[in-house]
Amino acid sequence: MERFFLYDDVEDTKTRFVSFTGESQRYDLAILQSGRFFGKVLVLDMQLGRFAILGSDDLEEPGYLEQVYNRPEDEAQELRDYLHELIG
């Protein structure tokens, strides 16, 4: 069988590793910036093994972080507050 590639690109990225504690939870994140994401960032939750490509519009979407990162509302709000500082 011949493999059909849709794309196979190599791109330089900027990666930031952040660990912080909130009221009841520790957060360990890897944040990747790339031209591929059109101004958004790839945020990996290394504890839960979940990730999303996020922009400021996504942070405003009710319930989005709760669903994507499978976190309760209070933990998602702590994450949202940090990402607002980071993304703007």
- Would the pLDDT of 88 be above 80? no
Residue 65: its pLDDT value, please?
Answer: 97
Residue 1: its pLDDT value, please?
Answer: 87
Which of these, 18, 51, 47, lies nearest to 37 by C-alpha position? 51
**In one letter, which amino acid is 3?**
R
Question: What is the phi/psi pair of residue 55, to 5°?
Answer: -130, 175
Q: Is 30 exposed, middle or buried (0-12, 13-18, 19+ CB in 10 A)?
A: middle
Residue 24: its pLDDT value, please?
Answer: 85
* pTM (two decimals): 0.89
User: pLDDT, tens digit, for every residue of 49-59?
Assistant: 999 999 999 99
- Rounded CA-CA distance 4/1 in Å is 9
Domain boundaries, the chain: 14-87
